[in-house]
Amino acid sequence: MNKIIFIVFAATAFAQTPTINWDQQKAETLRHFRALVQIDTSNPPGNETRAVDYLKQVLEAEGIATKTFASEPSRANLVARLKGNGSKRPILLMAHTDVVGVQRAKWPVDPFGAVLKDGYVWGRGTSDDKDKLTADLMVMLLLKRSGVALDRDVIFLAEAGEETTSLGIDFMVNQHFSEIDAEFALNEGGRTRLENGRVTAVQIATAEKVPRWVRLVVDGTSGHGSIPRVDNASSPAMSVCYRVLRTRSPA
């Protein structure tokens, strides 16, 4: 369940600023958002090509050429590009098309119904990552329609396999990097806070979570597992792990 919020980053330098009536864009944005949620791309198996087919048809109907790249036919990635004047390096808008699997019995609604209920769109992928996918799609459509002159190419990448990167981003980087080579990339991360129907904060994450390896050395009296000792080294080790588990970083 996720309120639809679309934040369009003004990271692209415009030679002119187009006027966009955002109220008028709501219906179209919602239509694409719901259509994408209704495409079951649960991973596994993914079947992201279904979403790619939809995006391809929408983009090409606007005169935006697309290319697809797939290491497996059912798990395609899609790239589209709006050309700039080349004075700056491209910007990459990226979003993954697969979603986490569902346990249907636990859902009060069809997870792929994109049901509108209580002012929300309900469905798998509404906040990860079909909201971002739709926002990126709308940026491409609106930039194209407005005819705005771009200083840099704007590249749209719909990637397969968020976690199965060998089919998605790793495949694109290793096999087709020239298609997505950019100065900046905007991807998911950060959160938007909504209170009483109003956006009160937009957070921007500049990095992903990364492993932080720690070497822990503990001492204790040695013994055998069949006769557990309270002063065995494993006791303080477990205490340390428990404290780490209970630690909460400041909100």
* Contacts to Zn ion by CB under 5 A: 128-129, 162, 188
List the catalytic residue out of 40, 48, 98, 179: 98
Q: How far is the CB of 189 from Zn ion (least distance, A)?
A: 9
Write down the H helix ranges in 43-95.
49-61
Q: Given the complex with Zn ion, which of 129 and 153 has the nearer CB atom?
A: 129
**Nearest distance, CB of residue 100 and Zn ion, angstroms:** 9
Verify whether residue 162 is a known catalytic residue: yes
Taking the complex as a whole, how short is the minimal distance between the CB of residue 160 and Zn ion, in angstroms? 12
DSSP 200: E
Enter the tokens of residue 167. 């089919």
Q: What's the closest the beta carbon of residue 168 comes to Zn ion, in angstroms?
A: 11
Q: Which of 40, 159, 162, 163 is catalytic?
A: 162
d(CA 122, CA 113): 8
Closer by beta carbon to Zn ion, 75 or else 152: 75
Please say which residue, 205 or 244, places its beta carbon nearer to Zn ion: 205
Collect all residues with Cβ–Cβ distance below 8 Å to 161 and sequence separation of at least 6. 43, 46, 48, 75, 96, 98, 167, 168
If the CB atoms of residues 86 and 189 are measured against Zn ion, the closer one turns out to be 189
CA 130, CA 116: separation in Å to the nearest integer? 15
- The answer to whether 38 and 121 are in contact (CB under 8 A) is no
Active site residues: 98, 162
